[in-house]
Chain A
Amino acid sequence: MIGPSFPAVLAAATNGDEQAFGVLWRDLQPALLRYLNAFAPGAGEDLASETWLRVVKALDSFSGDERAFRAWVFTVARHRAVDRWRRTTRHHDELVPLDALTNLPAPDDPAGTAVDAISSQAAVAQIAALPPDQAEVVLLRVVAGLDVAEVAAITGKRPGNVRVLAHRALRRLAQQLSEEPRVRGPVRGR
């Protein structure tokens, strides 16, 4: 999160200040990549680029605080992901469903071979292995840092439904991890 300087940063970026846009980009790009890679493995960077292009073009039409900006960016990202999913299905490309991620190999010895990024990727992959609606709710809550109302607005669900999905996802994760711990390694707080 950028914090109190966000309005000034946003205003500068809207006026074409590259450094200000870089601040916005650095703040949101990692979360965008993790979110998009969970839904379109291997295409996260392309989708993130498309997302930023849309964001830049419509930057002057945005009004709101930092949380609203995050929610807006992730809404754009979600639309990009859905559009891509539709394109790939229309062109009969091989689509990788979220369920296929359940068999992703996790690092056996993260302490020796993994770095922090891999640990983050493995964690996101573990979350993405949940049922799609649960995975999306958890990713938007945890990775994007959005609250229940914002996630409900993005996903088109009611807030109560979002809470239920999140609880089920946490319980499912707990069950999976208690049976087979997959993600270890260094954990860094926010």
Chain B
Amino acid sequence: MGSGGVFSAEMPDEPSQAIVPLDADTAERLLSARLDPDDAPPGYAEVARLLQAAAAPADQIELTGQAAALNAFRTTHPGPTSPPARPATTRPHPTPPPGPPAGTRGRPAGSTGRPGGSRDQRVAARGGASGARGRVVALALAGALAAGAVGVWTAGGAPFSRELGSPSGGPSAGGPGSATPGSGPYGVGRYGLGGTGSGADATGSLRPAWPSVSSAPGATQVTNGRPPAPASTREPATARHTGDVTSPGGSTNGSKHTHPGKQPKPKPPKVKPPRSTSPKPKPAKDSPVLKIGR
């Protein structure tokens, strides 16, 4: 007699013949692990038990890799695609960055977008970061900062910030006109966006570095022998900086940061005025100092 025969239920001693054909609903309940073994048709009680065991909730053993997974997420995630969803209380901001109202942060579910947000957002983020950097250089030009501080920051700001681990420093790096100021800590590594990454890095490095810059051995080493005039100190440092973060148009000039990507790297236009306005080499040839030197 076939296993699905009429008399199968009357032959419990032969279990293989006690299996009845399943209807679609029972099969569906079995496969969704919602069929209680006691309610299962003859021969399927063990199947129901087995499928429930297979669909059992997670065990701790299966969740042991969570820390490694989060680490991988931290290093792999391409970065936020919209203004950062981190709480604003992680870092105090002197001026709160412009952004969407509360509750509207983050990309709505179901929408797609490129990593780093829209092009406008990325450009704005770059602009904001350059703005922060430009402000610092401008402060140095005005004499508000020691030249050593500028040298240390522009030469090694980004690496310092990485070591110091201030990934959430983006928002405070926003410059004027920045819609998404400092949009995250992953910009440098993932995209090579000098503005985005270095913007976050800039604030991260400046805050801890400034108080200790005067006492740091590297600071005096950098600034020794350099004239206070910023033109000669700023140019090589900023060139190195933009080269380090591989910014396509990462300008360190505060006046040009609103057009990232359009400005050629090796020609910061602000460098020229100090040189051109000081035509001293010709008179210097006649100066007694030079004559003595010769």
Contact = CB atoms under 8 A, between A and B. Distances in A.
A6 B58 CA distance: 18
A171 B4 CA distance: 10
Interface string A57-68: 101111111000
A7 B109 contact: yes
B172 to A, nearest CB: 18
A56 interface: yes
B146 interface: no
B82 interface: yes
Interface string B56-86: 1111011101101110111011111110111
A123 B53 contact: yes
A174 B54 contact: no
| Among A15, A53, A63, A179, residue most surrounded by chain B Cβ atoms (within 10 Å) | A15
A60 B22 contact: no
B139 interface: no
A189 B52 contact: yes
Contact of A60 (B54, B56, B63, B114): B114
A181 B46 contact: yes
B44 A188 contact: no
The binding surface of chain B is classed by DSSP as loop
A126 B54 CA distance: 9
Interface stretch (B13-21, B91-99, B227-235, B267-275): B13-21
Contacts of A65: 110
Contacts of A184: 49
Contact of B65 (A17, A45, A61, A145): A45
Given A30-B59, A33-B62, A178-B46, A16 B53 contact: no
B193 interface: no
Contacts of B27: 163, 166-167, 170
B33 interface: yes
A120 B47 contact: no
A12 B70 contact: no
Query: Chain B interface: which size bin?
Result: 35 or more
B112 A60 contact: yes
Given A15-B107, A183-B53, A26 B66 contact: yes
B85 A22 contact: no
Interface string B19-62: 10110100100111110010000011011011111111111011
Nearest to A181: B46
Interface stretch (A70-78, A79-87, A93-101, A136-144): A136-144
30 contacts: A6-B109, A14-B81, A15-B80, A15-B105, A16-B184, A16-B186, A18-B73, A25-B66, A25-B70, A29-B58, A29-B65, A33-B62, A53-B72, A53-B76, A56-B72, A61-B112, A63-B110, A120-B59, A123-B50, A123-B53, A143-B54, A145-B32, A170-B44, A174-B19, A174-B43, A174-B46, A183-B50, A183-B53, A188-B52, A188-B57
Interface of B: 3, 15-16, 18-19, 21-22, 24, 27, 30-34, 37, 43-44, 46-47, 49-59, 61-63, 65-66, 68-70, 72-74, 76-82, 84-86, 105-115, 184, 186
